[in-house]
Chains A and B, each alone.
Chain A
Amino acid sequence: MSTMTVDKAGPTRNVKYGSMSRDRAWALRWSYFFLTLFAIFSLVPPLYMLITSLKGSAEISAATNPWWVFHPTLENYIGLLTSNQFLRFFFNSAMVSIVVVIITMLISIPAAFALSRMKFWGSATLATGVFLTYLIPDSLLFIPLFKMFALIGDVTGIQLINRWYVLLFIYPTLTVPFCTWIMIGYFASIPKELDEAAIIDGASWLQTLTRIFIPVALPGLIAATIFAFTVSWAQFLYPLVFTTSADQLVLPVGIVTTLIKGDVFNWGQIMTGALLGAAPPLIIYAFLMDYYIAGLTAGATKG
C-alpha cells in the first residue's frame, strides 16, 4: 500500500518541480539576456571614451579602426592634469559637491527627523510638499533663480552670479527634498519604541537624533549622501547658466566650454576630462554600493 502511494505521489510532484524549475530557467535566461544587453548599452560609451582618450589627435582624425589604439599615448592625461585650468575645474567641482553634501545633510537629517517623528500640525502635508518640490524640473527654475540672484545683487550689492559658490545656494533645491524624502522613509522604519526608550533614558530630541537615529539609519544616510554628491557633481544646466568666467566653472561645464573652441573639438582631451570627471562618483559607488542598495530599499518599503 505505502509503496503504491509513494509511486502515485512521486511523478505528480516531480512534474510540478520540473515545470517550476523550467519556468525559473526561462526567467533566468531572459533576465541574463536583458542584463547583457543593458550592460553593453551602458558600457560601450565609456569604453569608447577610454579608447579615444589614449589616442593622439592625429590618430583620432585618421581613418583607422576607431575601436583600436595603434599608438597609445598618455599625452591627453598629462595635458589635462598639468593644466591649471582643468585642476581649477576639478577643485571647483569638488568644493561645490562636498559643501553641498554637507549643507544638504545639515538640513535634511533634522528635517526628516522632525517630519517623521515629531507629529506636529501639518507634518504629513509638509512631508508630501517636500517631495513635490523635487518634481519641479531645473529647466523651469533656472530663469527665476537667475533673476532672483541678479535682484539680490542689484539691491544688496552682493554679487553672486558668476561665482562658483552661488551653486551652493542652488544645488540644495535639488538635493534637500530628495534626501529628506529618502530619510523620512528610513527613519519611519525605526520602531517607535526605540525613541521612546531613548526619551525615557533621558535623551533630548537632539540626543535621540544624534546618538540613536543617525547611527541606526546610517545606511540610509550614506545613500542620501551618495545621491547628493552625484547630483551636485553631474549638474550641468545650473553651472552653465550661473557661471561664465573660466576660473569659476565646474568640471562638466568647463570641459565643454574650454575644450571646444568654435568648431574645433579637442576629442582626446574631452574624452579624458569626462573619464576623469566620472572617476570620483564611480569610486564612491564602488566602495559604498552595498550601503547604497540597502539604504534605497529600506527607505522605499518603510521597513
Chain B
Amino acid sequence: MIFNKTFECMDRAALRNLQGERLRDAVKRAYEHVPFYRSRLDAHGVKPSDIHGIEDIVKLPFTTKEDFRDTYPFGLFAVPLREIVRVHASSGTTGKPTVVGYTKEDIDTWAETIARTLGCGGGTADDILQVAYGYGLFTGGLGLHYGGEKLGAMVIPMSGGNTKKQIMLMQDFGTTLLACTPSYSLQIAEEAAADDIDLKALKLRVGYFGAEPWTEAMRAKIEERLPVKAIDIYGLSEVMGPGVASECLEQDGLHVFEDHYFPEIINPTTGEPVAAGQKGELVYTCLTKRSTPLLRYRTRDISSLDEKPCPCGRTSRRMARITGRTDDMLIIRGVNVFPSQIETVLMKVEGIEPHYVIVVDKTGALDELEIKVEVSEQLFSDEIRKLEELRARIFEEMRSVLSLSAKITLVEPKTIERTLGKAKRVIDKREVK
C-alpha cells in the first residue's frame, strides 16, 4: 500500500525541484532563527542566498552530535518554546542526552512518514498494529503510535517488555502488524515456544523492525519463527525518529522519504560526497522540520544509496541496510550507548580508576551488557559486603544514566590489557557483521 502516491512516486526531476525549494527555506530558517547556525554558516562563508537548488547542499557545513551537546538543551530550536509541543531525547556521548523538539506540524510530518513506513510493509487502515517499542523519551513507541493512527490502523500501545502479555494480546486482539526491535521479536518467539504457543496460528503478517543493527541472517531467523514479513525500518531521533526510511515488500533497500529527509553519502574522513552507489557515512538534512532545520547531520551510520527504480513503484532512493558505524557507539537493546558514558559513570563512582572493558553479548535473543571493572587497592575492601555495595552502586549509576541493566563484574587488576585503545575497550560478541 502506497500511503502517499503524490510524494512517494513523484517524478525525480520534480522531486529535486521540491527538495531545492525546501532546502532554501530550511537554510533560511536556520540562519535567521538559530544563532548556532548563523555563526556556523558565517564561519563557513555560506549565506542562505548561496543556496539555489538541492545540488548546493554540499556547500553547507555538517552538524554533529557534539553540536547537540554544545547547544543543550534547546539551542538548535528555530522556533520559540511555545510552538514546541513535544520533546524526545536519546543518549549523548557523555552524561547529557541529545534533545529534539517537535512543533505540531513536525508531529504531523513524522506521523505521515511513519504511516508511509507502515504502508511500505503492506499495512492499511484495516490493520491492528501492536507497538512494542518503548514509550517515553525514546522516539520508537510514540513515533509508531502516531504513524499507526495516521494510517488509520488500530493501535495497541503495549510499549516494550511484558512478553507474555504481548503474546496474549496478539492472540486475543488479532494483531496483524508488530513494531519492535528485531531482537525483541525473537524474544517473543522464544517465550511463545516455551509456553507451547504456536505463533504461526496468529494473524500476524508484518513486522517493522529497527532501532538496532541487524542482519539478513537474523531476518531469516525471524521469518522462520514468526509468521511475518520482516521489514527493516530506519530512523534516528536527531532527524525525527523512526520513519526516515523503510523497506518495501521487495526487502531490497530502504526507501528514504526524501521529500522530508534528504540523504547523502560522504567519505567520513574527507567529508566529500562518494561516487554514486558507493558506501560511506550517511548524512541527513531535515528539509521540512520546523523545530530544527537540521543541516547535513552526520549519522555515523554506514550505508549507500541506490537510485535504481524499485518494482514497488516508489521513486525514492533506497539506502542500504546499515552495515556499521564510524564511531564507537553501541546499540544495546535499542538503546544507544557510548563507551564514554560508561567511563564518565565509573569516574563518578568514588575511587574507581577507569580500567574497564565492555562486553556485549547475546543470551538468547536479547543483548546483554557486561562491564568488567578492575578492583584497585583504593577500591578494595577486606569485606565482601563492601565490595557488593560497590558493585550495586555502579549498577544503579549505570542504570540511571544508560537506562540499561548492566552486569557489573569486579575483576583483578591488570586482567584488562593496557594496550587497548578506547575503541577496543569494547568486546562485541554479537553476530552483527
A in complex with B: no
| B residues apposed to A, CB below 8 Å | none
Interface set of A (CB-CB < 8 Å, partner B)? none
